[in-house]
Amino acid sequence: MFHKEGYKIILITLVVVIASIFAIDRFIDIPWLRLALMIGMLIFLVLILQFFRNPKRLTQLEDHTVVSPVDGKVVVIEEVFEKEVFNDKRIQVSVFMSPINVHVTRYPISGNVTYSKYHPGKYLVAWHPKASEENERTTVVVENEHFGKVLYRQIAGALAKRIVNYAKAEDKAIQGKDSGFIKFGSRVDLFLPLDADIKVALNQKVRGGESIIAEKL
């Protein structure tokens, strides 16, 4: 199953790969080089297909938990001052995505979308300390009665040149459901209440829509 954001790119890639293989077969006479180029084109197609895959996830809907919005590795867990929306201290949990991770963004909690904003910006590497404030990014806040307000921020990286965000203010968010897509590697920051019980550790790998990032009982 592939994400709709990849349909056009997958089709173009398929046409290019097929055309390239026919061209290689016709114009390259050296057997080993012909085979190597054909294999290279097939590997390129497989990588594109893998990048835009959209596997089903079994999200356990719970108002007292926050699930990871993306696949990747936890690279930040720290108390910070969040100044775009809250203007107070929050616990930041950041998940870094490599190009081989699933890049679907999912709602971390169910509730009402109270804020959604796109910010143009730079394309610093995703792990840069200033990426959260200076890179192209979107900020979304979802609120429910149990957990309160949870902010998640899609951040473009050096390779990510397009962020897709479906969340709009006053939308009804469903935990684990598709809320956007980031193309070609980046990270997502979560900003949680200080009394949230963090359930992940640094360098832990997480799965979007399934791995529990925090609880608030």
Q: Flag whether pLDDT at 205 surpasses 80.
A: yes
- Mean pLDDT of all residues belonging to the chain: 90
> For residues 85 and 139, is the Cβ–Cβ distance under 8 A?
yes
Report pLDDT for 169: 94
- Looking up tokens 């108390």 gives 79
Q: Flag whether pLDDT at 52 surpasses 90.
A: no
Kindly provide the residue ranges of all beta strands, DSSP E only, lying in 53-211, ordered along the sequence. Answer: 65-67, 72-82, 88-97, 104-106, 111-119, 137-144, 148-156, 162-165, 172-173, 178-183, 186-192, 197-198, 205-206
At 212, is the pLDDT very low, low, confident or very high (cuts 50, 70, 90)?
Answer: very high
186 is catalytic: yes
Report pLDDT for 72: 93
Which of 68, 179, 186, 211 is an active site residue? 186
Q: Flag whether pLDDT at 192 surpasses 80.
A: yes
User: SS3 of 50, please?
Assistant: helix
pLDDT in tens, 72-110: 999 999 999 999 999 999 999 999 988 788 889 999 999
Better-predicted residue by pLDDT, 50 or 126 = 50
Report pLDDT for 195: 93
In this prediction, residues 39-49 reach a mean pLDDT of 92
pTM of the model: 0.86
pLDDT in tens, 154-171: 988 766 557 889 999 999
Q: Flag whether pLDDT at 132 surpasses 60.
A: yes
In this prediction, residues 44-55 reach a mean pLDDT of 87
Instruction: Give me 26's structure tokens.
Output: 């016709």
> For residues 146 and 63, is the Cβ–Cβ distance under 8 A?
yes
